Amino acid sequence: MKILSVNAGSSSLKFQLYEMPEEKVLISGVFERIGINDSFYTIKLNGEKQEKHVDLPNHKVAFEKLVKELEENKVVESLDEIKGIGHRVVQGGTYFDKTVVATEDVIEKIDELSVLAPLHNPAAITGIRAAMEVVPNAVQTVVFDTAFHQTMPEENYIYAVPYEWYTEHKVRRYGAHGTSHKYVSRRMNEILGRTDTKLITCHIGNGGSISAVVNGKCLNTSMGLTPNAGLIMGSRCGDMDATIVTYMMDKLGVSAREMDTILNKKSGLLGVSGVSSDSRDIEDGIKDGNHRCELVQKMYVRRVLDFIAKYYVEMSGCDAIIFTAGVGENSISTREQIMDGLKVLGVTLDPENNNTRGKEIKISGDDSSIPVYVIPTDEEVMIARDTYELSK
List pLDDT tens digits, range 2-40: 999 988 876 778 899 999 999 999 999 999 888 888 889
Please state whether the predicted TM-score (pTM) of the whole model is above 0.85.
Answer: yes
Q: Residue 196 above 70 pLDDT?
A: yes
AA identity, residue 63 = F
Average pLDDT, the chain: 93
pLDDT of 38 reads 87
Q: Residue 271 above 90 pLDDT?
A: yes
pLDDT bucket at 320, cuts 50 / 70 / 90: very high
pLDDT of 37 reads 84
Spatial CA neighbour of 237 closest among 257, 217, 210, 262: 262
pLDDT of 9 reads 73
**Known active-site residue 145:** yes
194-374 architecture in CATH?
2-Layer Sandwich (3.30)
Q: Residue 118 above 90 pLDDT?
A: no
> Distance (Å, rounded) from C-alpha 180 to C-alpha 282?
25
Q: Residue 130 above 90 pLDDT?
A: no
What average pLDDT does this structure show over 56-82? 89
Q: Residue 341 above 80 pLDDT?
A: yes
Every domain range in the chain assigned CATH 3.30.420.40:
2-144, 194-374
pLDDT of 10 reads 67
Taking the alpha carbons of 150, 155, 160, 166 in that order, is the dihedral positive or negative? positive
Which one is predicted more confidently, 392 or 169?
A: 169
Catalytic residue of the set 80, 145, 288, 350: 145
**Could you tell me if 206 and 233 are in contact, meaning their C-beta atoms sit under 8 angstroms apart?**
yes
pLDDT of 324 reads 96
What is 2-144's CATH topology? Nucleotidyltransferase; domain 5 (3.30.420)
Q: Tell me the per-residue pLDDT of 81-106, one tens digit each, with 9 for 90 and over.
A: 999 999 999 899 999 999 999 999 99
Q: Tell me the per-residue pLDDT of 217-254, one tens digit each, with 9 for 90 and over.
A: 999 999 999 889 999 999 999 999 999 999 999 999 99
178 φ/ψ angles, rounded to the nearest 5 degrees: -60, -35
Q: Tell me the per-residue pLDDT of 133-179, one tens digit each, with 9 for 90 and over.
A: 888 999 999 999 999 999 999 999 999 999 999 999 999 999 999 99
